[in-house]
Amino acid sequence: MSKNTHDSLLQQWRELESAHASVRESLERALEREHRLSLSEYEVLQRLAEQSDGQCRMQDLSSESELSQSALSRLVGRLEGAGYVERGVCDHDRRGVYATLTKAGREAQVTAAPTYIEVLGTTLGSPGVAA
Amino acid sequence: MSKNTHDSLLQQWRELESAHASVRESLERALEREHRLSLSEYEVLQRLAEQSDGQCRMQDLSSESELSQSALSRLVGRLEGAGYVERGVCDHDRRGVYATLTKAGREAQVTAAPTYIEVLGTTLGSPGVAA
DNA sequence: TAGCAGTATATGCACAATCATAGATTCCGT
DNA sequence: ACGGAATCTATGATTGTGCATATACTGCTA
């Protein structure tokens, strides 16, 4: 609890904030510019694409993402509007909803993936360099 | 550029995102609950408090924070409304504006600091543990 | 099986963030 | 000294986010 510890914690946090902001911003810009996708939209498509059947319960999607439940619900709504996912009720738990990647959604994710990975390669470890 | 590299980048980024979100959320909740301050509001007060004269140009405040210029302008507007800062024009560059901590602003920062540091201590290095 | 607590999702509302741009001032070339 | 480019801040418009809550369904208890 010495002053050194305070400063060290502060420095650690500021570095984390700064690194995160730098990568996020680059991803955000590149995905928006080249694929008309926000970062969180892309990342949800990515999570869905990782499922063997391309589908996932809202609940699980929500806990994997860093978004609130309501933000995720609206996000999936937007993806649905764009024709990238479809929603359907769970048969064995009819409270639940699963989101399923459409063909277009899978294609969008595959198309955007190289951009995403390239930006990660450029910015992770090279803080402050905008892509 | 092997598949391993892709996965490693992805994993690195997800860990960064998750660590950042976890700390940010805890700070946000604790500061809001105990001091009626948002995280970015507190962090701006903190930057001002670090200046020997408690004042700083909007421009510098903006580049130190992770906010856009316009977001910072409004944020300082809110702090001004709360009586925590005052705005004045720079005498030697009348485009510029400097924000100055008021007495109340300095007190608010000092009062909230222990909460901030405590949450940092709890969450940095202990990801997933909400304060 | 009736009722109640718990869980899953969607939505109204308030608010903060961004982008684009306006308004004001400074800087520089000629 | 003039005029245009560049810089600094504020603001209108739009959008995404979180909180609180409504709605629907499940599962447990009596």
A108 contact partners, CB below 8 Å, separation of at least 6: A35, A37, A45, A84
A30 pLDDT above the threshold of 80: yes
Nucleotide nearest to A97 (CA to C1'): C9
Q: Could you read off the pLDDT of A38-87 as tens digits, one per residue?
A: 999 999 999 999 999 989 999 999 999 999 999 999 999 999 999 999 99
Q: What is the pLDDT of residue A129?
A: 46
Dihedral Cα A119, A125, A127, B1, nearest 10 deg: -20
Q: Check whether residue A7 has its CB closer than 7 Å to nucleic acid strand C.
A: no
The DSSP secondary structure of A14-71, one letter per residue, reads: HHHHHHHHHHHHHHHHHHHHHHS--HHHHHHHHHHHHSTTSEEEHHHHHHHSSS-HHH
Q: Does the pLDDT of residue A131 top 50, yes or no?
A: no
Q: Which residues of chain B have pLDDT under 70?
A: 1-4, 126-131
- Residue B8 sits at φ, ψ, to 5 deg, of -65, -40
Q: How many CA atoms lie within 13 A of B21 on its CB side?
A: 14
* Mean pLDDT score, A100-114: 97
The alpha carbon dihedral of B101, B34, B66, B80 has a sign of negative
- Protein CA at A72 to nucleotide C1' at C8, angstroms: 13
Tokens of A131: 């892509």
How far, in Å, is the CA of B123 from the C1' of nucleotide D18? 21
pTM exceeds 0.85, yes or no: yes
For B58: left if phi > 0, alpha if psi spans -120 to 50, otherwise beta; the answer is alpha
CA separation, residue B114 to residues A108, B27, B119 (Å)? 46, 11, 8
Residues on chain A touching B16 (C-beta within 8 angstroms)? 16, 19-20, 23, 124
B120 to A66: CB separation less than 8 angstroms, yes or no: no
All residues at 6 or more sequence positions from B81 whose CB lies less than 8 Å from its CB, including other chains? none
Q: Which pair of tokens denotes residue A45?
A: 């498509």
DSSP secondary structure letter of residue B51: S
